[in-house]
Amino acid sequence: METSRTEIASLGEFGLIEHLTMNNETRQAGTLLSVGDDAAVIDQFGRQCVISNDLLLEGVHFDLMYTPLKHLGYKAVVVNLSDIYAMMATPTHITLAIGISNKFSVEALDEFYEGVYAACEQFNVDLIGGDTSTSKIGFIISVTAVGEVAPDKYVTRAGAKVNDLICVSGTLGAAYLGLQLLEREKKIFLENPGIQPDLENQKYLVGRMLKPEPRADIVEWLEQAGVMPTSMIDVSDGLSSELLHICNSSDTGCILYEEKIPIHDDARKMALEFQVGAVACALSGGEDYELLFTIKQEDYEKVARNVDISVIGYITEKEEGANLLTTGGNKHKLTAQGWNAFRS
Amino acid sequence: METSRTEIASLGEFGLIEHLTMNNETRQAGTLLSVGDDAAVIDQFGRQCVISNDLLLEGVHFDLMYTPLKHLGYKAVVVNLSDIYAMMATPTHITLAIGISNKFSVEALDEFYEGVYAACEQFNVDLIGGDTSTSKIGFIISVTAVGEVAPDKYVTRAGAKVNDLICVSGTLGAAYLGLQLLEREKKIFLENPGIQPDLENQKYLVGRMLKPEPRADIVEWLEQAGVMPTSMIDVSDGLSSELLHICNSSDTGCILYEEKIPIHDDARKMALEFQVGAVACALSGGEDYELLFTIKQEDYEKVARNVDISVIGYITEKEEGANLLTTGGNKHKLTAQGWNAFRS
């Protein structure tokens, strides 16, 4: 039936999503925010319900060779909660659908669920639904997270205004370096099965990869400090890609200061060891699950009091583009990688 | 770390779900109904939100060799809507996450989305969220459906009472026979690629498999007729399995009359051709997406007016067990197959 064939790679991830959803119609009056943000928002007679879902696929998003199942269960939940927090909403419920092969034992699944329940307990959410399928094609995890937010208090990617300050929580790039470390040790192990990986000294980096923590604390702090961000997104694909999402949705440009990007000492050291730029890891690495957001200038003093938030740049007119100002004083266009696994 | 290994097959699908969720705690006051029904129910300040999600996996739930992508998109949505209708709720929104390999073209994905949007239009729901991943392991579809219901008007599997009548909409077994037909034609085609399958005369059976229709009309009719079912479930795994779910959840037994099970003429003919029992197809075939429900005896006259609803048995004390009364007058224990793909 196909008369022509367009490769998915020619559109890229974000182009593909836009292509597939450009004719998406809204019929329900309660649909406040649809495809294109961290989560969707539905109005239900005054209360607003935030909803998000994600797939985690073996061989794409995780490698069971170095991912303990308990950590995987925890991570599958929290990466979805992170999307809810990125709307400045509070997650309340999750559903979990899994596809499993019979190579799994019940004990292995129990470990996975231990992680799921640990995340539910930690973030006070209820697991309310499930679907369990056989899978002949690896372990497949689908989590849907539901949250709530006071009427019209949710924060999208689209509200950044010129001169707003760009902020990010925690540090960036460590998760990517943790992944590189795990991949290196896996390779060594496969070549020399006698050698056990020694990751004792790299607990921080490996932990950032295997057990990310969504920034519920930052959302709570912002609320208590009375700071209402003008836009917000969580860092799953890398700072560069997320900042471009904010700029595109808000119809603005930005200046990002290289020297302001928060990077942990362990990440800097490991980047040296791998001979990659630590800043490049922060920009394109992803999986940090920190919150990237913009605030009005008048909120600067409040935010400056929180040592766990860095101000890393500011929003400009769209015409100026999205730029990185390097420590050496050069200006570079920010580019988004997204995933480009389709190209390989 | 594992000290023992229990095979998943030893628990079966339903045993596994029970095992994994038996220690599931509820923390949110708004959680009205959790794991174990067609969908979960959340109270949001008086309004009740119904939520359900399902995975559809290539090679397990569908075969791209004989499943047109547009039909697949439609089916992926409606099987989830069916879960919402089975709560006597109205679906309002869906999210869709897919995992795709680069063997897919953009045009192929467009066809899939055409089906998704057709289902959204048909049932007046909004697609509000998406996730698009690469998949190295086949086409993976995860749909979450959200619906609403007036406070405490949702119907679970757990409310059937002794002497309630068991009802089912439409006819049963045809989807399974449609699948057998498609599998047979696939086999013939693979052995003799010159022979094109002729399914023209089997539009009903093939349509029941490839393009199921959730029974929104039955839910609407019941509401308008003022019939509030005491329990309800949709028929995805086969009549036998679903009826046992109702009996287990409601703590009852049942009598099912073989002669009352509604079976389409085309299904009877095809069952003869395949030398299988048409009743066995209805009991264990699945994928009919009809509604199975129980009503109070006093509602019998109302329901009898609807030619699309069959009364097929009644609820008994638990001690009497769940039984099929055959046309010949014999009594057989009902057994649930669920999926047992883990055994293969």
DSSP readout, A236-248?
SS-HHHHHHHHHH
Tell me how far CA of residue A167 lies from CA of A306, B142, B218, in angstroms: 11, 33, 52
Residues in A closer than 8 angstroms to B44, CB to CB, are 44, 47, 49, 148
Residue A66, both tokens: 């170095």
Residues in B closer than 8 angstroms to A157, CB to CB, are none
| Banded pLDDT at B49 (limits 50, 70, 90) | confident
- Listed residue (B3, B163, B95) closest to A80, CA to CA: B95
Strands B165-169 and B291-295: antiparallel
Residues in B closer than 8 angstroms to A142, CB to CB, are 53, 55, 97, 142
Interface of A with B in 147-176 (CB under 8 A): 148
Option in A6, A130, A339 nearest B17 (CB): A130
Determine contact: B340 vs chain A, CB below 8 A. no
Determine contact: A102 vs chain B, CB below 8 A. yes
Q: Supply the pLDDT for residue A340.
A: 41
Q: Does the interface ipTM go beyond 0.90?
A: no
Residues in A closer than 8 angstroms to B42, CB to CB, are 92-93, 128, 146
Q: Supply the pLDDT for residue A331.
A: 93
All residues at 6 or more sequence positions from B265 whose CB lies less than 8 Å from its CB, including other chains: none
Backbone dihedral angles phi then psi of residue B69, each to the nearest 5 degrees: -60, -35
Please report how the helices B69-85 and B216-225 are oriented relative to each other, as an axis angle in degrees rounded to 10: 30
Tell me how far CA of residue B227 lies from CA of B103, B184, B205, in angstroms: 49, 42, 30
Determine contact: B196 vs chain A, CB below 8 A. no
Determine contact: A43 vs chain B, CB below 8 A. no
Classify B177 in phi/psi space as left (phi over 0), alpha (psi -120 to 50) or beta. Answer: alpha
Does B20 sit within 8 Å of A132, measured CB to CB?
A: yes
| Banded pLDDT at B3 (limits 50, 70, 90) | low
Total residue length of chain B = 344
Instruction: Give the three-class secondary structure for B155.
Output: coil
Instruction: Give the three-class secondary structure for A40.
Output: strand
Option in B16, B95, B102 nearest A40 (CB): B95
Determine contact: B337 vs chain A, CB below 8 A. no
Q: What is the mean pLDDT of chain A?
A: 90
Instruction: Inform me whether the pLDDT recorded for B321 exceeds 90.
Output: yes
Residues in A closer than 8 angstroms to B77, CB to CB, are none
Residues A179-227: pLDDT tens digits? 999 999 899 888 888 777 778 788 999 999 999 999 999 999 999 999 9
- Listed residue (B323, B308, B304) closest to B240, CA to CA: B323
Residues A247-267: pLDDT tens digits? 999 999 999 999 999 999 999
Paired residues of B257 in beta bridges: B325
Instruction: Inform me whether the pLDDT recorded for B338 exceeds 60.
Output: no
Determine contact: B22 vs chain A, CB below 8 A. no
First to last CA, chain A: 27
Taken in order B295, B296, B298, B300, the sign of the CA dihedral is positive
- What CA dihedral angle connects B158, B161, B167 and B172, to 10 degrees? 50
Does B106 sit within 8 Å of A8, measured CB to CB?
A: yes
Nearest CA in chain A to B17: A132
Does A140 sit within 8 Å of B97, measured CB to CB?
A: no
Query: What domains appear along chain A, each with residue ranges and CATH number?
Result: 17-149 (3.30.1330.10), 165-343 (3.90.650.10)
Residues B91-107: pLDDT tens digits? 999 999 999 987 888 89
**Are B46 and A45 within 8 A, CB to CB?**
yes
Q: Supply the pLDDT for residue A289.
A: 97
Dump strand ranges (E) for chain A.
Answer: 31-33, 40-44, 47-57, 90-100, 126-134, 140-149, 165-169, 231-234, 253-257, 291-295, 309-316, 322-325, 331-333
Determine contact: A1 vs chain B, CB below 8 A. yes
- Listed residue (B232, B227, B239, B292) closest to B50, CA to CA: B232
Does B55 sit within 8 Å of A144, measured CB to CB?
A: no
- Listed residue (B20, B262, B269, B309) closest to A100, CA to CA: B20
Determine contact: B103 vs chain A, CB below 8 A. no
Size of interface A-B (CB pairs under 8 A): 271
Residues in A closer than 8 angstroms to B144, CB to CB, are 51, 53, 95, 144
- Listed residue (B85, B287, B80) closest to B174, CA to CA: B287
Residue the block writes with tokens 């009852």: B252
Does A126 sit within 8 Å of B26, measured CB to CB?
A: yes
CA distance A144 to chain B (A): 7
Determine contact: B23 vs chain A, CB below 8 A. yes
Determine contact: A128 vs chain B, CB below 8 A. yes
CA distance B170 to chain A (A): 25
Q: Which of A90-94, A289-293, B44-48 has the least mean pLDDT?
A: B44-48
Alpha helices in chain B (DSSP H): 12-21, 69-85, 106-122, 174-191, 203-210, 216-225, 239-250, 265-274, 278-284, 300-304
Q: How far apart are the C-alpha atoms of A232 and A295, rounded to whole Å?
A: 9
Q: What DSSP string runs through B52-119? A: EEEEEEBTTTB-TTT--HHHHHHHHHHHHHHHHHTTT-EEEEEEEEEEE-TTSBHHHHHHHHHHHHHH
Residue B20, both tokens: 């994994």
Determine contact: B138 vs chain A, CB below 8 A. yes
Residues in B closer than 8 angstroms to A131, CB to CB, are 53-55
> Which has the higher per-residue pLDDT, A275 or A38?
A275
Residues A54-65: pLDDT tens digits? 899 998 899 999
Tell me how far CA of residue B1 lies from CA of A117, A199, B328, in angstroms: 19, 18, 55
- Listed residue (A312, A308, A265) closest to A167, CA to CA: A312
Determine contact: B200 vs chain A, CB below 8 A. no
Residues B162-178: pLDDT tens digits? 999 999 999 999 999 99
| Banded pLDDT at B344 (limits 50, 70, 90) | very low
Please report how the helices B12-21 and A106-122 are oriented relative to each other, as an axis angle in degrees rounded to 10: 40
Q: What is the mean pLDDT of chain B?
A: 90
Does B102 sit within 8 Å of A129, measured CB to CB?
A: no
Determine contact: A142 vs chain B, CB below 8 A. yes
Option in B26, B57, B98 nearest A135 (CB): B57
